Amino acid sequence: MKILRTPPLIFLPLIALALGWHLGASYQMKHLTGEQQRIVELFSISSGSGQTVKTDPEKEVDITLFWSVWRLLSKHYIEPEKLETKSMVFGAVSGMVSAIGDPYTLFMTPQDTKIFESALSGTLEGIGAQLDLKDRQVLVVAPIKGSPAEKAGLQPKDLIVSVDGKSVEGMALENVVSMIRGPKGTFVTLEVKRASTVAMITITVVRDAIHIPSVESKVIATATGSIGYVALNQFGDDSVAELKKAISSFPKEGLKGVVLDLRFNGGGYLEGAVDLVSMFLEVGDVVTVEHRENEPEIHRVTGSSILPDMPLVVLINGGSASASEIAAGALQDHKRAKIIGTQSFGKGTVQEIIELPGGSSLRVTVAHWLTPAGQDLGKKGVTPDIVVDRTVEQYQSGYDPQLLAAEVWLTEHEDVSGGKKTATGSVK
């Protein structure tokens, strides 16, 4: 099996976001989690019993109804010029896929696929927000730091109701994305429903070029020593290397602990999550990938820890998803870090893309994420050890009670492994 790397995905950023095939051929699949690319033989379909059997859906499924409706439309519909064959086929396939009821499994037309691939390519122009589809509603996962969406006041867990006055109810996520994205300097008006308010909120955003810094760091001085702060905004190609470089720049003496900020980090490479946990943990599992069949795939730390004993706090919120939740969940389960903030997003499934004829593609859920303790991240995400909220007003003013809580914990409490804190870490 040929293994290839694929670019990271942070859900669907609202930014300036072929293999041919035939039945019985090899399909190219791309992990949306950024874990890897794989060439997978799909000439067989698994039965409900868990055994893999060769089957022919054309012999098992009677699609007479489909052709009957097609012919009736062709014969009776008042505007026959609107019966465009390609659109009808795309609509039929999309309906079949959406009937499964999984918001992460969907058919993408050639146009949808191009939008998706342009997002992965790094051509970033738009409002800079991460979206997801949850309970068939378009949900804001997080605005990207410093983006037009953040500056305009868009928040995690906002539900997008309409775009430029047009309702998005029942629309596919990719269609909503294409409505919101656009060239730099143009405007888009969003009507959102926010849990903390009764009335709808109207937000107008000026689109712009989007830059996502992977890592931001600083040293926070306290009365008893210093605290290293590092924010990881995404799991990309060089994120872990940048993270290691930032941590290495922290002072060697008098360091009370490290704050790892994963707020608004929508995820990316699985390998990045494994490498991140490996920096702070010497041994142990990081995550289990549970597939439809075959044995679960367990990912363990790499044995390359650089701060295995340093007191550690991880900050999360509703914009922390996917690889961020893997890292936070693993560090929490191993009692290696204190998790502070609010409930994470809850993105616990793995998707792959299968490229189809003519530029269309199928995105399909193929696995679940499980933390070392067996918790399904897709059901509720990661629950903080210490819940600290941050209001919109606090965010806009720059006041950060979650970071302050992390500073207090590091300066006033013993580290998570139960040892006494010293200037350079912990002593068992």
Catalytic residues: 322, 333, 347
Tell me if 165 sits within 8 A of 144, measured CB to CB. Answer: no
Residue 258 near residue 310, CB atoms below 8 Å: yes
What is the C-alpha to C-alpha distance for residues 256 and 267, in angstroms, rounded to an integer? 28
CA 123, chain centre distance (Å): 18
Give Cα separations from 350 to 86, 99, 105, 289, 339 (angstroms): 29, 19, 10, 8, 24
Residues 339, 257, 392, CA angle at the centre, nearest 5°?
Answer: 45
The answer to whether the CB of 142 falls within 8 A of the CB of 130 is yes
Query: CA 349 to CA 9: how far, in whole Å?
Result: 13
